Amino acid sequence: MSGEAFAKLDEKLMEIELGVRAIDFLATITVQAHDPLERERSGLCIQWVAERLLPMINEAAHFAEDHSRGRGAGT
């Protein structure tokens, strides 16, 4: 994997890490919430972030696979 491809993959992974940290933070709020409505809202926020993370994770995995095999010159 070239240095440029590695830097691009690192950027994608940092975005994913931010999403995972957001889920961790929201999970803490959800666990500590006393109000059922607040717990439900936090849970919906977790779901929203997770739904956006899955495509990012898949994209990063495909990007890494393509570049590790030398096929990703144009991506």
pLDDT value, residue 23: 95
Confidence at residue 17, expressed as pLDDT on a 0 to 100 scale: 95
* Mean per-residue pLDDT pooled into runs of 10, the chain (75 residues): 84 94 94 92 95 94 84 54
Give 3-state DSSP helix, strand, coil % of the chain, rounded to 5: 85, 0, 15
pLDDT number for residue 71: 64
- CA angle 16–12–63, rounded 5-degree value: 120
Tokens found for residue 74: 């144009």
Residues 50, 52: Cα–Cα separation, whole Å: 5
**What letter represents residue 73's amino acid?**
A
Report domain extents, the chain: 3-68
3-class secondary-structure state, position 61: helix
| Per-residue pLDDT, 72 | 57
Length of the chain: 75
State the pLDDT at residue 2. 76
